[in-house]
Structure 1
Amino acid sequence: MDPNIYALVLDTLNRATSQDPEVLKPAEKKLQEWEIEPGFYSVLLQVLSTHTLDVNVRWLAVMCFKNGVDRYWRRNAPNAITDEEKHKLREGLMSPTILSEPVAQIATQQAVLISKIARCDCPTHWPNLVPQLISVLDAPIPIMQHRVLLVLHHVVKALASKRLIGDKRSFQELTSTIYPFILNNWDQNTDRFLSYIQAGAPTDLITENLEKALLGLRILRKLTVFGFKKAHECDEAVAFLNVVFDRAKTSLECRKLLKGRGIYPLELCEKFIIHLTKVALGVLCFHPNSYVPLIKPSLEFALYYCFTEQGMSLIYERFTIQCLNIVKGILQCMEYKLPKTDPIKDMLSSPAPAVAQLAHQAKSEVLRHDTVWHMCRHLVTHYFLLSADDLALWDAEPESFATDEAGESWKYSLRPCTEAVFMELFHEYRSVLAPELVRLLASLQDGPARPDDLQAILKKDAIYNAVGLAAFDLYDDVDFDEWFTNVLSQELKIKDNNYRIIRRRVCQLIGQWSGVRASQSLRPAMYEALLQPLTSADEDPAVKLAAAEALRSTIDDFEFDVEQFAPYVPHALSALCELLVESEECDTKIHVLHVISSVTERMEGAVARAGGAAALFAHLPALWARAHHHHMLRAAALAALVHLVKALGECTANVRPFILGVVNESTKLSEPAHVYLLEDALELWLAILETSHAVDPPMLQLADNLYPILEQSTEHLRIVVYIMQAYALLCPEEFFLGAGGKCMGLLEDMLADMRTEGVITVLKMAEICISVTFPERNTYLGVKVIWPILIRVIHCLLEGDDLPAVLSVQLCLLSRVILLSTDLFYNAVEEAANGLTEYDSDPAKVLNRLLHVWTEKMNLATRVTRWKLIGLGLVALLTTKNQMVLQRFPAILLNLTEVLNDVRNIEYKDTYVDGLVAAPGSRAASPLEGCGGATRWGAGAAPRTPHLARRERLAAAHPAHRLDLRAATHHQLETLKSQVGAETFERLIQSTDKETLKQIREYIPL
């Protein structure tokens, strides 16, 4: 290697570690430029191999190397590293200088670097990687042994993460090759560090072997979980799994010794123990059949350490969580459950699988009835009790304490973990635990605990928590109405500071039991009970938040009665707004906003009638401004605004500028926050349009944001089209002369790549374009806007192979154009014929094929409204003096007869009445299909919006509702007769089959 190049790179790396920005920035830029230069990574490898260089320089070198592997190692990557240089780099990374790196942090990054290359190249292009590493493990140099284990750990981790069938097969082959050696190495290192701890050896000696044992355990875990199809078929894997819990027991005793001495390896020892439990959890999750022999020892292990005084004296929180998760995993595993007993099914089905029977037997041997009750009681009276740390957190940060941990927090946090285990245990052994828990609850019914007796309060809180968690399983055992009326509602009134614990739990109980067993007559009392702490100025914040969450649960109930809750809406919204203002943490505000959204969504019209939204609208602008960098809070605020606008049925002038500004900011793709806000902002945009009586310049200007959203992807196609429809109904001319026209052009370009649902959505939008623009005002503006779509539709119809749903909308679109102007239709056919070589660019041939497809497939339209519209289009063509139309006269007449039969109102036996034509003064039979917006009616429905009125007016103007098909057909046939003469008309009639003539003469005299 050229010494000058090495010196230049080294100097640049030195300058890139400078704290002076003027020196740092140019050096970083130069390093980025060199990333694609041949030989650059060989220089970096030489820097790494020189241990005498500054640590910061070598750290930067390994990071540059690692980033380069991410970007340029794959063969198909732009500016990929050459195969020759890759070969040299792979050899260099296996050199003794790299595998004896003295700095731990750099060694870790080197291991990650090698693993990234291994993921791409191993085993095809780097078959000797693992054998080389295994061979170096026998070296007598301790640091080299450690570094090789570190590299092997990261390599195995990377290879185990590959999920293609071939990659999984390769990893299984690798596992079978190295597993015995790794197991033996781990066993030796584990024996050494355990014996050193017990003998009181020096700390560095314990640490050295403990670190190697931990790395070996990590490797074994990946190999065991992902390296076998069936772990129980490998003797070495079985041997390893059989010693896991014994090693954990010994390690816990050694941890106690380390803790007594207060030396560094304590943390490492705890990690080692945790990884032993992770092995058990991994096998249980991925190889449940292989875990069956371990069910009994693992349950006994968890019972001893989590539910006995002797065992609990040796453990720590993270270990407790892991043990309880093992118990939960065993109880939850579907492979371990016997089929539910059903005499009839038992006779017809095969016996339970052997695995399920063995697992059930193993569980039964350990989890006897007395043991299960002991576990349940211990969970309630020990783990459910609020600790001194919990109460201290409550005092210091009530909002943080009150925020429920969601998702998979049971994997990492003790309280959610114990609650999850309790629920699994209770569900599995309900018949045993329900009576005992009811007796435990009955022991509290002597009266409220004394406010100064904190231990009694904590015990009651724990039992109440258990009853709430087991609510569904206690349906037949607890009379919640009586309990709430006589006990819980009274405890809410006790205002002592210690009693806030019970008040919070009572609120949670109301939320948990409202959907399980709470009579309809009790609901008002429950609402009042929850509003009591919410509206109290001196109530504890955690209690208020619990009440708010419980309120959301009560209104989410299936049997929720809108009228019952309506009187409480103003108080609820006012209290929630106060809580929103009082809250300091963003997560708390998000929770409160979700409750507000639930109330407004469920109540809708009642919110408008009762009022209470003004305070919310007044506070939201300030909240929006303060949440500039908290996108999830802004998203929650957007959702609340959507429901508020819908519920009120209007966007008042004082808040309109703010809301339009919010929508504009959230739908601009140039704003990074749009990733989090776009979906809710589009909903809000649609809600504003639906509640607007007229368009104003800011709203019209907002439409410019639609085109970039459509251009980016079709992810939000449906709601964007709904917004376009709302604009079309509100201000068609202004919209289609501006942003609307551009968007329709873009939609036409996208049609070729859309799925069926998207095609139908766009075609319905095109239909509305024609429906809302009239020739006397804008010279067929709607047709001009959709002209490219119209040409594409004709081309698609000529193929005639679209799905019926698409075909019917295509024919409806053509029919609307025909009803608007037959000249426009023929112009479209003529333009569509240009360039069609299979039709010799002849419009007559194109029209002939189009009419053939039309008459053959129009009966595929399933909606009667659409079928009639298509029929009206055919009727309008009869008098256009086109020979191709007359040649199809029999087929046209046959289809018209079928449509007439279908649209006839059968209630009128003696007179033909078109069932789709609305009677004077009545609403149209159906609203316009395809427009977004709510159409629900009822006590809690949203107010009638201007958009809904516009939809109904457009539906009433629909040709199928406005034109009588029988009268239109009669008129067109009479006109045709006068155009062609009686003799020609008679020949056309005679060309029609007799059955068709017989049926049509029932409607029209021919």
Structure 2
Amino acid sequence: MASTFASARPIVLETLSQACSQNADILKPAEQKLHQWETEPGFYSILTDIFCNHAIDANVRWLAALYCKNGVERYWRKTAPNAIAEEEKEAIKKRLVADFTEPVPQLKQIATQIAVLTAKVARLDCPRNWDSLLPTLLAAVRCDEPLVQERSLLVLHHVTKTLASKRLIPDRRLFEQLTQDVFKFMVSLWNSHINTFFQLASQHDDAMGSAVDRCRVILKILRKQVCYGFPEVHKTEEVMNFISSLFPQMDAFLDCRRSLWGNHDVLEKCERIISSITKVLLDLLEMHPVSYVHFIKITLTFVVQYNFTTKGLLFERFVVNSFNLMKQILFSDVYKPRKNTGEDTCPVTVEASKIISEFFTLETLAEICRRLVSQYFLLTIDDLSTWDADPEEFCQEEGGDSYKYSLRPCTETLFLTLFKTFRLTLTPVLLEMVQTVQGPCDPEDLGAVLRKDAAYNAVGLVSFDLFDEIDFDSWFTSHLLQELKVKHKSYRVIRKRVIWLMGQWVAVKMSLNLRPVLYQAVLELLDPNEDLAVRLEAAQTLKTDILIYKFYP
């Protein structure tokens, strides 16, 4: 690109327009030209000039920002072949933070693209070669103009996220220093904006949607700062005060959510920010368990209050995060006293263990167990619809990290963790629930069928822990085999669960002389006329038995 900036700009603009074409004969040559220009001096300055011009077509601007972002990744480093010249870099950096008035709402994708581009440059240059970036962003954030504040917050979020991801020790220390410089201001900004939102929400003002958007972006920034900006969170009073304030603020957001029925858009945004608050707590618990000891009791109280009382059954994302908070507290090695040793020398472990044991009383554990099984284990209408529409998908087991995002695996993981931690307390509670439902059940009563399914599911999940508590051979012959003979359509739920239950217990406690009976039951459920999901489960049980016992004839 030997021509001057002024003469080359129209050519690049026209080529970008052609690259947005739906006609392959026009698009392909344009893409080739743009590829050829990637190493030409001045090309990225022209792209920056184009995507910063609000008068140009949005698709063209978006593509210009994309090409510029890709160019930064390849050619920004000084050591890169065909590296961008220092003068051009400086011009691009100045232009990136010169204007925070990207129009809304149609062009928000462009604003995000520019924010990501700015963050990529910041990763390589900030603060050593771009020390003006954060002061410029903070000045824009302080602006009274809502659009400027919203756009600058978006950029600050992506810059913070990018800088926090750098894990070399010098980079971590640099981020810690940057965080200490701005954390207090960000907390005050957060408090100011949530107060504004609650005021607008109380009046059902249309501006509450954009207000909660700004709150969420600020919280995303604070989330990274809290987790990566302080080596020892509990030694910084401002951070501890901020975390403490999140619990009453979450209460307020949950109360506000109840008043927003009918305003689906703002209701959804309110749910997102509630989920974001729980993510702050989850990250802090995972990365700073020593500091989180101070919040164990209030966290457990909060989780029980909103998920295991009449207030329960809130929106799924909140329930999942709440359950994961409780599970992570129980699962943390930092909070578990060592077995077979004398007095624990770690005061954090002693304190955490004491808080946990005092909180989980017999009454609390029994209520949690009953509600997990009787409410959260129940198959839903959506589950049954999936079963009807795609039985194979319904039978697909979710593994890995699915407990972090999906309600059913999350619920089962929490139940397992609770049972293994408090087995002696919860065993009689679970056995009582099973005894209540194991009698004859009216197939027409779907609720009763689902409750039985849930109780059987619980027994199967903790089969190893119930080895000495259940005479499975007797249960198998006196109850479970009879369950398989009920062919009512609704009872497919129980047939599938019972054959799964046999698969769970076959490796735990089943007599060899009952193997032929098991095989006969499996063969009957493999009949082509049987429900597909039941047949798949029967095949899985047979596979489990073969793998364990090499097929006992």
TM bin (shorter chain): over 0.9
Residue 378 of structure 1: CA displacement?
0.5
* Alpha carbons of structure 1 residues 450 and 294: separation in structure 2 relative to 1, 3 Å: same
Alignment correspondent of 2:502: 510
One-letter code of the match for 1:390? D
Alignment correspondent of 1:497: 489
Q: Indicate which of 112, 116, 120 corresponds to 2:116.
A: 112
Alignment correspondent of 2:241: 239
One-letter code of the match for 2:547? D
* 1:94 maps onto 2:97 in alignment: yes
Residue 144 of structure 1: CA displacement?
0.9
- Could you tell me how far apart the structure 2 residues matched to 1:180 and 1:377 are? 44
Contact kept, 8 Å, 2:437 with 2:451, in 1: the verdict is no
Alignment correspondent of 1:150: 154
SS at structure 1 position matched to 2:489: coil
SS at structure 2 position matched to 1:51: coil
* 1:417 maps onto 2:441 in alignment: no
Aligned residue runs from structure 1 range 202-241, under 5 A = 203=206, 205-241=207-243
Contact kept, 8 Å, 1:507 with 1:530, in 2: the verdict is yes
- Could you tell me how far apart the structure 2 residues matched to 1:471 and 1:497 are? 28
* 1:441 maps onto 2:445 in alignment: no
* 1:452 maps onto 2:444 in alignment: yes
Contact kept, 8 Å, 2:344 with 2:350, in 1: the verdict is no
Q: Indicate which of 29, 43, 50 corresponds to 1:26.
A: 29
Contact kept, 8 Å, 2:483 with 2:495, in 1: the verdict is yes
* 1:540 maps onto 2:531 in alignment: yes
Alignment correspondent of 1:59: 62
Contact kept, 8 Å, 1:274 with 1:319, in 2: the verdict is yes
* 1:553 maps onto 2:553 in alignment: no
Question: For residues 345-389 of structure 1, what are the alpha-carbon distances to aligned partners after superposition, in whole Å with 9 as ceiling and x for unaligned?
Answer: 42xxx5242111211222233221110010001111111111222
* 1:289 maps onto 2:290 in alignment: yes
Alignment correspondent of 1:769: none
Contact kept, 8 Å, 1:338 with 1:352, in 2: the verdict is no
One-letter code of the match for 2:312? M
Residue 59 of structure 1: CA displacement?
1.0
Aligned structure 1 segments of 4 or more residues deviating by more than 6 angstroms = none
- Could you tell me how far apart the structure 1 residues matched to 2:78 and 2:138 are? 28
Alignment correspondent of 2:316: 317
Contact kept, 8 Å, 2:76 with 2:84, in 1: the verdict is yes
Question: For residues 431-450 of structure 1, what are the alpha-carbon distances to aligned partners after superposition, in whole Å with 9 as ceiling and x for unaligned?
Answer: 0111121122222343x312
Alignment correspondent of 1:805: none
- Could you tell me how far apart the structure 2 residues matched to 1:24 and 1:351 are? 69
Residue 322 of structure 1: CA displacement?
0.9
Contact kept, 8 Å, 2:253 with 2:274, in 1: the verdict is yes
Q: Indicate which of 157, 163, 186 corresponds to 1:159.
A: 163
- Could you tell me how far apart the structure 2 residues matched to 1:227 and 1:527 are? 59
Alignment correspondent of 2:453: 461
Residue 495 of structure 1: CA displacement?
1.5
Contact kept, 8 Å, 1:296 with 1:365, in 2: the verdict is no
In the superposition, the TM-score normalised over structure 1's length comes to 0.53
Alignment correspondent of 1:186: 190
Alignment correspondent of 1:426: 419
SS at structure 2 position matched to 1:443: helix
Residue 561 of structure 1: CA displacement?
4.5
One-letter code of the match for 2:246? V
Residue 412 of structure 1: CA displacement?
1.1
Contact kept, 8 Å, 1:339 with 1:352, in 2: the verdict is no
Residue 74 of structure 1: CA displacement?
2.0
- Could you tell me how far apart the structure 2 residues matched to 1:178 and 1:403 are? 47
Residue 539 of structure 1: CA displacement?
0.6
Q: May I ask how many residue pairs the two structures share in their alignment?
A: 547
Alignment correspondent of 2:380: 387
Alignment correspondent of 2:330: 331
Residue 326 of structure 1: CA displacement?
0.7
SS at structure 2 position matched to 1:498: helix
- Could you tell me how far apart the structure 1 residues matched to 2:411 and 2:143 are? 46
Alignment correspondent of 1:200: 204
Q: Which stretch shifts more, 19-28 or 455-464?
A: 19-28
Residue 339 of structure 1: CA displacement?
2.1
- Could you tell me how far apart the structure 1 residues matched to 2:324 and 2:235 are? 25
- Could you tell me how far apart the structure 2 residues matched to 1:352 and 1:524 are? 54
Residue 511 of structure 1: CA displacement?
1.2
Contact kept, 8 Å, 2:438 with 2:452, in 1: the verdict is no
- Could you tell me how far apart the structure 1 residues matched to 2:381 and 2:151 are? 43
Aligned residue runs from structure 1 range 887-966, under 5 A = none
Structure 1: unaligned runs, 5 residues or longer:
566-1006
Contact kept, 8 Å, 2:317 with 2:405, in 1: the verdict is yes
Residue 215 of structure 1: CA displacement?
0.5
- Could you tell me how far apart the structure 1 residues matched to 2:216 and 2:370 are? 36
Residue 337 of structure 1: CA displacement?
1.1
Alignment correspondent of 1:898: none
Alignment correspondent of 1:377: 370
One-letter code of the match for 2:331? Q
Contact kept, 8 Å, 2:102 with 2:108, in 1: the verdict is yes
- Could you tell me how far apart the structure 2 residues matched to 1:351 and 1:44 are? 62
Aligned residue runs from structure 1 range 459-608, under 5 A = 459-534=451-526, 536-557=527-548, 560-562=549-551, 564-565=552-553
Question: For residues 197-248 of structure 1, what are the alpha-carbon distances to aligned partners after superposition, in whole Å with 9 as ceiling and x for unaligned?
Answer: 01222x1x21222111110000000111111111111111111100111111
Residue 38 of structure 1: CA displacement?
0.5
Aligned residue runs from structure 1 range 556-705, under 5 A = 556-557=547-548, 560-562=549-551, 564-565=552-553
One-letter code of the match for 1:75? K
SS at structure 2 position matched to 1:127: coil
Residue 517 of structure 1: CA displacement?
1.4
In the superposition, the TM-score normalised over structure 2's length comes to 0.96
SS at structure 1 position matched to 2:508: coil
Higher relative contact order (CA 8 A, sep 6+): 2
Alignment correspondent of 2:86: 83
SS at structure 1 position matched to 2:83: coil
- Could you tell me how far apart the structure 2 residues matched to 1:519 and 1:84 are? 80
Alignment correspondent of 2:304: 303
- Could you tell me how far apart the structure 2 residues matched to 1:125 and 1:318 are? 41
Structure 2: unaligned runs, 5 residues or longer:
none
Alignment correspondent of 1:403: 396
SS at structure 1 position matched to 2:475: helix
SS at structure 1 position matched to 2:259: helix
One-letter code of the match for 1:160? A
Contact kept, 8 Å, 1:383 with 1:418, in 2: the verdict is yes
* 1:47 maps onto 2:50 in alignment: yes
Residue 46 of structure 1: CA displacement?
0.9
SS at structure 2 position matched to 1:294: helix
Aligned residue runs from structure 1 range 811-960, under 5 A = none
Contact kept, 8 Å, 2:282 with 2:325, in 1: the verdict is yes
One-letter code of the match for 2:540? E
When the two chains are superposed, the root-mean-square deviation of aligned CA atoms in Å is 1.5
- Could you tell me how far apart the structure 2 residues matched to 1:117 and 1:369 are? 56
* Alpha carbons of structure 1 residues 254 and 227: separation in structure 2 relative to 1, 3 Å: same
Question: For residues 444-501 of structure 1, what are the alpha-carbon distances to aligned partners after superposition, in whole Å with 9 as ceiling and x for unaligned?
Answer: 343x312222222111111100000111111110111111122112211222111111
Alignment correspondent of 1:685: none
- Could you tell me how far apart the structure 1 residues matched to 2:500 and 2:415 are? 17
* Alpha carbons of structure 1 residues 544 and 352: separation in structure 2 relative to 1, 3 Å: farther
One-letter code of the match for 1:378? R
* Identical-pair percentage: 44
- Could you tell me how far apart the structure 2 residues matched to 1:275 and 1:318 are? 10
One-letter code of the match for 1:474? L
Alignment correspondent of 1:931: none
- Could you tell me how far apart the structure 1 residues matched to 2:229 and 2:158 are? 15
Residue 556 of structure 1: CA displacement?
2.6
- Could you tell me how far apart the structure 1 residues matched to 2:521 and 2:505 are? 14
